[in-house]
């Protein structure tokens, strides 16, 4: 919005609105994801990861081998917050495994892989 009070020093010009440059994980979200990553590495299921920040989404990709497609990808897309939920879990072939509004629920299929049956 521009308000003009004349052609002199009384001209007031509003600053342009700031546009979000990129979507990112906050500290708690990243700690939750990296905790799962560490446990998956300890179990021998993952070996490498990549993080990507974009205007529309932030994603964390986990790899069994570096040269392959990601085994799993967790994506945060705030534009979908009001619809399906801003969190999504994608499989190796790119299929959506789980969507939701909270990160813990979306990571649950990966957490199940770490469960072991213990017999007495």
The pLDDT-based confidence of 24 (bands split at 50, 70, 90) is confident
Q: Is the pLDDT of residue 21 over 80?
A: no
> SS3 breakdown of the chain: % helix, strand, coil, rounded to 5?
25, 25, 50
Dump pLDDT digits (tens) for 32-80.
999 999 999 998 888 999 999 989 889 999 998 867 788 999 999 888 8
The conformation of residue 78, written as its DSSP 8-state character, comes to: G
pLDDT for the residue numbered 36: 93
State the Cα–Cα distance between residues 47 and 38, nearest whole angstrom: 9
């Amino acid at each position: 919005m521009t308000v003009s009070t004349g052609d002199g020093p009384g001209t007031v010009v509003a600053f342009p609105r700031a546009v979000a440059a990129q979507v990112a994980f906050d500290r708690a979200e990243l700690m939750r994801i990296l905790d799962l990553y560490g446990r998956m590495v300890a179990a021998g299921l993952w070996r490498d990861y990549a993080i990507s920040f974009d205007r529309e989404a932030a994603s964390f990709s986990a790899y069994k081998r570096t040269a392959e497609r990601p085994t799993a990808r967790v994506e945060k897309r705030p534009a979908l917050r009001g619809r399906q939920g801003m969190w999504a879990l994608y499989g190796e072939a790119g299929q959506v495994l789980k969507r939701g509004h909270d990160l813990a629920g979306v990571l649950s299929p990966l957490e199940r892989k770490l469960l072991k049956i213990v017999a007495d």
